[in-house]
Structure 1
Amino acid sequence: VMYKVLYVLVMKDDNMTIGRALYLFLWNAVGGPVLGLVVGYVIIRWVGVVFNDPYIEVTATISAAYMTFWLAETEAVSVSGVLAIMSLGIYMNYHRTAISPEVERLLHGIWNIMEYLANTLIFLLVGAVVVLIPYQNALQNTSVPGSSAAGPSPSPHGSPQPQAHWVPGWTDLGYLGIFYVCTTAIRFALVLLLSPKILGLRKMKEYCRGFGGRARPKQAPPSPTRATDASPPRPRA
């Protein structure tokens, strides 16, 4: 949410005021969870009238996730899609008894596969974007003798001259180091503050988790119907 507000402040709106920034922050931080709860309520009501139909129940949960994020990120709504998805998952997990018992095992398996693929694609795309964006900007802003803004100029032999290649400097490496230290410190703070209450980890495991981040893709936010150890027993047909 803060990134979205700062992006609008820097890139889109030169006349941003403190009141406008606060409004955007509250609209994204509150509107996202509200949207997720609304969509979750509709989906749970719909799934509640279906019994033992894996195609409809699985499709409904997957479609709800995509539809919620799409609605949140449209220009007409423009709220936090991440918070909307999180509140949707929490709401559907709380009302997971609406899912047919016969479908629950299949639903868990499908969502586990989707979590693994999504985490893999996230890290792959982040790495590609981090490398490509500064490289493309450097090619656009770097000129070589005889080149122009329209593109590389031809050499005396008629072939275009190659563009200069971007090479990371010490400043870029310094920024990268600062970014790594800050993210690691934030992760350590969250792990040390929350893990004893949520997971009951020992100190050594907390330190390992702080350096390693996610140990498994399953440690992403829970799927809409994932049960916990503290959940009440489900009635079986």
Structure 2
Amino acid sequence: MHLLTEAALEPDPLRLPLRVADALCAGMGAQGAAVTLLPHTEGAQLLCASDEVALRLEELQFEVGHGPGIACAAGGTPVVIEDCRQPHPLWPLFSATVGEQLPQVRGLWAFPALGGDETLATIVLYRSSPWPAHPRAVQQGVFAAWAVARLWEHLQDVLLNEHGPSWEPREVIEAHWLSTHRAAGALSARLGVTVTEALLMMRARSLRTGTPLPQLAAAIARSPASWTDD
């Protein structure tokens, strides 16, 4: 995909993720795109989102713990939702929330960026109209995901450091991903469970109480001892 090749020539590595997202939108005819690293693990990390809708789609998946990007990463194969207005039996909460909060999202495709047998990242693209799964278009998405994986392997040392990702929007990444991971680690140590189990407990409480996951994570970070069993 020549648009991704052009994006890879961006001289500023911190601008590169958004250039990649824009290239994916243009090349695939999507309204928005997001790339998330390791979305099927507790180390999930947003790399870039082209707009607020793409960002919210990634936030929703991170908050509820399921969705097309996570399924795509876990299975290593593309996931195609031709029309989000049709309820999806595998992700009822995600599907219902998208319908309520993001009615402009109709077609939703997810592709795994593979490194060998492992999923390094996923690309999630959306359209504001139904998106039929034409084989040639799906293959184009598979190739785009392959190109993103090669790009990530080349640039990960530049984009990551001991303080976490250095790209923007920093405040969004801090609130929705990094702080939540740190809180899950603190809760894990307090309760003697794994980080994965701690994150599942946080998600369950967030959904049950209606407390946004970042807000819950901030409370745990301030005082892990404040967590009490229901």
Higher relative contact order (CA 8 A, sep 6+): 1
Q: When you count strand as a share of all residues, which structure comes out higher?
A: 2
| Normalised TM-score (structure 1) | 0.23
| Normalised TM-score (structure 2) | 0.23
Q: When you count helix as a share of all residues, which structure comes out higher?
A: 1
